[in-house]
Chains A and B, each alone.
Chain A
Amino acid sequence: MAATGDILSMNNLETKKPVVSINDLQVKFKSDGETVIAVNKISFNVHAGETVCLVGESGSGKSVTSLSLMRLVEFGGGEITNGSLVLERNNKQVKNLVEADASTMRSIRGNEVGMIFQEPMTSLNPVFTIERQLTDGLRLHTNLSGGETREKALQLLKEVRIPDPEKRLRQYPHELSGGMRQRVVIAMAMACRPRLLIADEPTTALDVTIQAEILALINRLKHETGMAVLFITHDMAVVAQMADRVVVMYRGDMIEEAPVEKIFSEPKEDYTKALLAAVPQLGEMAGTSEPRPLDIPGHETLQKNQTKNLTARQETVLEVQNLITRFPVYGGVFRRKVANVHAVENVSFSIKKGETMALVGESGCGKSTCGRSILRLVEPVSGQILLNNQNILALNSHELRKTRRDMQMIFQDPFASLNPYMTLRDQIAEPLKNFGLVSKSEIEDIICDMLRKVELPLGFLKRFPHELSGGQRQRVAIARAIVVNPSLVVADEAVSALDVSVQAQVLNLMMALQDQLGLSYLFISHDMAVVERVSHKVGVMYLGRLVEHGSRAQIFENPQHEYTKSLMAAVPIADPKQRNISGDISFKPIPSPVFPVDQVIESPIYKEVETGHWVLTNK
C-alpha cells in the first residue's frame, strides 16, 4: 500500500508545482551585538503528497528552517535576511511568505500550513478541554457554526483514531496519555486541511510503540489528504520509514538532498555517511555474541579483546534477588497512604565481571527505578542486592556511603548531572576526596590520567561544565564515575540526550573502558538498537516486572514474550526498503502501575526456554 502511494506521488512531481518552495534562505540571530547565521543558502521544494525529511543533529538549523516557514522564527529573535519562501495558497495564488504581513500570516498559520510540535505535554493548553483546543482554529479560519465545529472536531478525532472520541472532547489534556495527546495535536494541525504539514520532531518525546503509531498515522493522513509533509527529525531510522526525499543539514548548511533510497544506498557527502554509520541498526548484530563498537569514519574501529573478556567473565559482581520498590500515594484529608505505585516488582538478575546487562522498556516500566534502587538512591521495599557478595540493603547509612565507591552512576542529562559551580577538576576529584582514597599529591596525576582515558584535553581541567558540549560533559560524568575504580556502573539512559555521532563516540568509549578496566555495566535504555549493540545480556521490563531476560542473542533473535515482540516490531528500521511502519498500527496501551495498598501480587513464574533465557509466564 505505502509503496504504491509513494510511486504515484513521485511520478507526479515533475508535472506539479511545489506546495512550498524555499530558495536561498538565510536566517540570522542577533544576541549581545553578535550576529549568528543560523541557516544559510537553504533551497528545496515540497510537493503535494510528498514527505520531505529535514535531518540533522542539534544546532543544524532544521527547526529554524521550519519556524521560518511559519514566520515564527521572528518571535525567537531571528530575522530572515535573504531568500524567499514561496507557498502555493488554497486559491492557487503563490505568495512569498517572507514579504507577507502579520494578518496574511495569521490566515495561513493553522489554516494552510499546520504544525506539530515535539512535546505533546506542553503544546496543549492545560486549562482548555480538547473540544475547545480543536475548535479554536476552526472558528478562526472557517465560517462554521458552533454545532458544526463540534461535529468537525469529533470527525477529526475519529480521523486520528482516538478511541471514545465523544468522551475525549470533554476531557482536559492531563487526562490523556502522551500518545493520545500527540494525536490531538495532529488533529489540531489537520483541522483546516492544511496544504503543508510541518512536523518538528513529533515523536522524539514518545515511547517507541507510540512513535510507531504516530508515524503510521501521519503517513496515512498524508495518503488520504494528499498534503505535503515537511518532517523534521534527528533519527535516521525514522527518516528511512517516512521520507520520500531527504535534506541533510549540518551547522546551518544544506549538505545533501536526494530521494530517500539514494541517501541510504549511496550517500555522496562524508557527513551523511558518518551520520548513517553512527546509527546502530536493530538486527545487524545477528550471529555475534560480543558487543561491537560503532564505526565512525575517520576513527579506526576498536576491536574488542574477546579472549580476555571470556576468561574474565566468571565472578558475579551484582546479584539482584526479588527486588521490590514501591512508592506510596497519599490521599484523603489525613494524607494517608491510599495506594502504591509498583515501580519495580519482584525483579531478579545478575551481572558478571566485565559484562553489560541492559534493561530495556518504555517510560514508566521501572527500569530507572530499578537502577536507582540498586544504588539505594531510592529505598527498595524488599529483596536482596548483593554487590561483590555484600548485601547492600543491610548496610547502615555510614557503611552504605563507603560501599557506594564500588557502584557508580552515569545519568541521562549531562547538562544537569554536573554541578555548574564546579570546575571539571573539582568534579572529577570529588569522589576521590569524599572517599579519602588518595593523598593530595596523587590526585592531580589521577585526574590527568582520567581525562586521557575519556579522551578529553588536559586544558579542560579549569573549565566549567557550561563551556563543554553535551558529549564532552558526558565524558566528564564517565570520568567521575570510574575514577574510584568501581566494579559496577549504572548507566541510566546515558546516551539518550546526545546526538547520534556523539552517541556513537560515547558508546565506543564506554565499551573501550569496559575492556581496559573490566567494568560491569547496568545499561538502562529505551533504545533497542543501542542495547543490541552494547550488551551481553538483556532484560525486558514491563510494568515493573522483568518479562524476559537472557543473552543478547536470545532476546533479539528469539524473542518469546509478547511484549518483547511488540517492542521489537515498533522499532523503525533504518532502511527505506524495509518499511515496517505503515497502515494502522496500534499497540496495547500500558496499564497503570498503581495498585491499592492491600493488593496481593502474584510472584512471577519464569520458564527457561533455552539455557539462560527466561520468560515470564504469569501476569
Chain B
Amino acid sequence: MKNLKKLFNPKGLIGSTLVILVVLIAIFAPLIIPPEYATRMDMRARLSPPDFSHWLGTDQLGRDLFYRMMLGARTSINIATSAVLMSLIIGLPLGLMSGYFGGRVDNVLMRLVDTLLSFPALLLALTISAVLGPSMQNTIIAIGIAFTPYLARLIRGEALRVSQMPYVEAAISSGATHLRLIIGHVLPNIMPVIIVQSTISLAFAILAEAGLSFLGLGTQPPEASWGLMIQASRDYLDRAPWTALVPGTAVALTVLGLNMFGDVLRDVLDPRSD
C-alpha cells in the first residue's frame, strides 16, 4: 500500500500521535496510578490553581485534576468507543439494507429509525439509562441506541446513492449475489463517510456521557470521567477556570486527534488519492 505513507504527513502524524497517546493513557494510567489518587480529597487545597503539588490544580473537593484526568480517560474512551461501535453494529446493516434493497424494506426500516429520530438523542439516552439503571454498561447501551438512527440514516442515503451507480449495475450483470454486491461494492464505497461520521460521533459520545453523568445516570461519583469533570466544573468557571479547561482540553485534543486520524485513514483507504 503506497498510500500508507500518507500516515506520515503532518496531519497523519499529529492525528495518530494524539490517538495513540490517548489510548495508551486509557490503558496504562489505571495500571500505574493507584485508583484512590483520583478520589482522594484535600479540603485545604480546594480549587487550588496549578502548582507543584497539584500540576493541573484541584477541583471543588480538593481532588487532583491531573490524576482524575488520567484515570478518567479509560472510562470516557471506553464508553465512547463502545457506544459508537454499538451504533455501528446496529446502524450499518440497517442503513445498508435500507439503501440497497429500497422499497418496502426501506420504508419499514426507515419509519422505525424516524421514530427514534423524533426524540432528542440525549432524551432518548436518558430514558434508556433511567429504565436500565445507572451502570457503565447501560450508559453504553443508552448512547449506542441514541446514536444509531443518525448513523443509519446517513448510511442509508449513501448506500442508496452508491447502489444506483453503473458499477453496481455492471456487477449485477456480472452475476454478483446480493451479499457480494453489498459487501464487495457498496460497503467499500461508503467507507469514507462511515469513518468520518464515526470519528465525529466519538466526540459527541464523550459529551453525551457527560450529560448522562450530570443527571446522575452515567458514571457515578466519586469515579472520574471527563464528562463528569466538565459538568462538575460548571459552578466554578469564574473562580477556577482550570477545572473546566483540564478535562475540556483532554476532550478537545482527543476529538482533534480522532478527526485528523479519521481523515487520513479515509485517504489511506482510498485508492484514488495519490
Most buried by A among B165, B166, B272: B166
Cross-chain contact A430 with B167 (CB below 8 angstroms): no
**Contact (A416, B166) CB under 8 Å given A401-B177, A434-B180:** yes
Cα of A339 to Cα of B190 in the assembled complex, Å:
35
Minimum distance in angstroms from A379 CB to a CB of chain B? 12
Q: Are B189 and A420 in contact, with the CB atoms below 8 A?
A: yes
Of the listed residues A407, A417, A435, the one surrounded by the most CB atoms of chain B closer than 10 A to its CB is A417
Known contacts A464-B272, A466-B271; decide if A419 and B167 are in contact (CB<8 Å).
yes
CB neighbours of B177 from chain A (8 A):
401, 434
Task: Give min CB distance, B3 to chain A, whole Å.
Answer: 11
Q: Give the complex CA separation of A417 and B188 in angstroms.
A: 15
Nearest-neighbor residue (CB-CB) of B167 within chain A: A419
For A410-452 the 0/1 string (1 means CB < 8 A from B) is 0111001111111100000011001100000000000000000
- In the complex, what residue of chain B is closest to A490 when comparing beta carbons? B173
B188 touches A408 (CB 8 A): no
A413 to B164, CA, bound (A): 13
Residue interface bits B152-173, CB-to-A below 8 A is 1, else 0 = 0000000000000111011111
B182-194 contact mask (Cβ, 8 Å, vs A): 1 or 0: 0001001100000
Are A434 and B175 interface neighbours, CB within 8 A? yes
B100 CB to nearest A CB, Å: 15
Q: Which chain A positions have C-beta within 8 A of B176? A: 430, 434
A419 touches B185 (CB 8 A): yes
Interface size on B, residues (CB 8 A): 19
**Across the interface, do A411 and B166 meet the contact criterion of CB distance under 8 Å?**
yes
What total of chain A residues lie within 8 Å of the partner, measured CB to CB?
29
Are B175 and A419 in contact, with the CB atoms below 8 A? no
Bitwise, B245-271 to A at CB < 8 A (1) or not (0) is 000000000000000000000000011
Interface residue? A158 (CB, 8 A): no
What residues of chain B lie closer than 8 Å to A416, measured between beta carbons? Answer: 165-167
| Contact status of A377 and B172, CB under 8 A, knowing A401-B177, A417-B167 | yes
CB distance from B111 to the nearest CB of A (A): 14
B175 touches A435 (CB 8 A): yes
Which residues of B sit under 8 angstroms from A377, Cβ to Cβ?
169, 172-173
What residues of A have a CB within 8 angstroms of the CB of B118 in the complex? none
Binding site of B, secondary structure by majority: helix, strand, loop or mixed?
Answer: helix
Q: How far is the CB of B36 from chain A (nearest CB, A)?
A: 51
Cα–Cα distance between A353 and B148 once the two chains are bound (Å) = 54
Instruction: Provide the residues of chain A in CB contact with B185, threshold 8 Å.
Output: 419
The contact of B188 among A375, A405, A421, by CB within 8 Å, is A421
Check B271 against A464 for contact (C-beta < 8 Å).
Answer: yes
Q: Is A199 an interface residue (CB 8 A)?
A: no
A585 to B15 alpha-carbon distance, docked (Å): 63
Which chain B positions have C-beta within 8 A of A54? none
Chain B residues with CB under 8 Å of A375's CB are: 173
Q: Which A residues are CB-close (under 8 A) to B271?
A: 420-421, 423, 464, 466
A404 at the interface (CB under 8 A from B): yes
Q: Does A491 contact B (CB under 8 A)?
A: no
Chain B residues with Cβ below 8 Å from A402 are 175
Residues on B with C-beta less than 8 A from A480 are 170, 174
Please tell me if the beta carbons of B174 and A411 are within 8 angstroms of each other in the complex.
no
- Whether A409 and B167, one on each chain, are in contact in the complex, defined by CB atoms closer than 8 angstroms, is no
Give min CB distance, B6 to chain A, whole Å: 13
Q: Are B272 and A420 in contact (CB under 8 A)?
A: yes
- With A405-B175, A421-B189, A434-B175 given, is the CB distance from A466 to B170 under 8 Å? no
A24 CA / B71 CA spacing, docked (Å): 69
| Identity of the chain B residue whose Cβ is nearest the Cβ of A421 in the assembled complex | B188
A477 in the interface, Cβ–Cβ < 8 Å?
Answer: yes
Distance, CA A407 to CA B170, complexed state (A): 11
> What is the CA–CA distance of A431 and B174 in the complex, to the nearest angstrom?
5
Quote the shortest CB–CB distance from A38 to chain B (angstroms).
21
- The one of A408, A412, A421, A466 that contacts B173, using a Cβ cutoff of 8 Å: A408
**CA distance in complex: A419, B169 (Å):** 10
Minimal Cβ-Cβ distance residue in B for A430:
B174
| Chain B positions 113-172 with a Cβ under 8 Å from a chain A Cβ | 165-167, 169-172
**A407-B188 Cα distance, complex, nearest whole Å:** 27
Residue among B173, B176, B270 with the most chain A CB within 10 A?
B173
Q: For B173, what are the chain A residues with a Cβ–Cβ distance below 8 Å?
A: 375, 377, 404, 407-409
A370 to chain B, nearest CB (A): 15
Assembled-state Cα–Cα distance A405/B173 (Å): 8
CA distance A402 to B176 in the complex (A): 10
Going nearest first, the 10 A-B pairs with the smallest beta carbon separation are A431-B174, A434-B175, A417-B166, A464-B271, A421-B188, A419-B167, A411-B166, A466-B272, A416-B166, A435-B175
Given contacts A419-B188, A419-B189, 15 further A-B contacts (CB under 8 A): A377-B169, A377-B172, A401-B177, A405-B175, A407-B173, A409-B173, A418-B170, A419-B167, A420-B271, A421-B270, A430-B171, A430-B174, A435-B174, A464-B271, A484-B174
- Return 22 A-B CB contacts under 8 Å, by A number: A377-B173, A404-B174, A405-B175, A407-B173, A408-B173, A409-B173, A412-B166, A413-B166, A416-B165, A416-B166, A417-B169, A418-B167, A418-B170, A419-B167, A419-B189, A420-B272, A421-B271, A422-B188, A464-B272, A466-B271, A466-B272, A480-B174
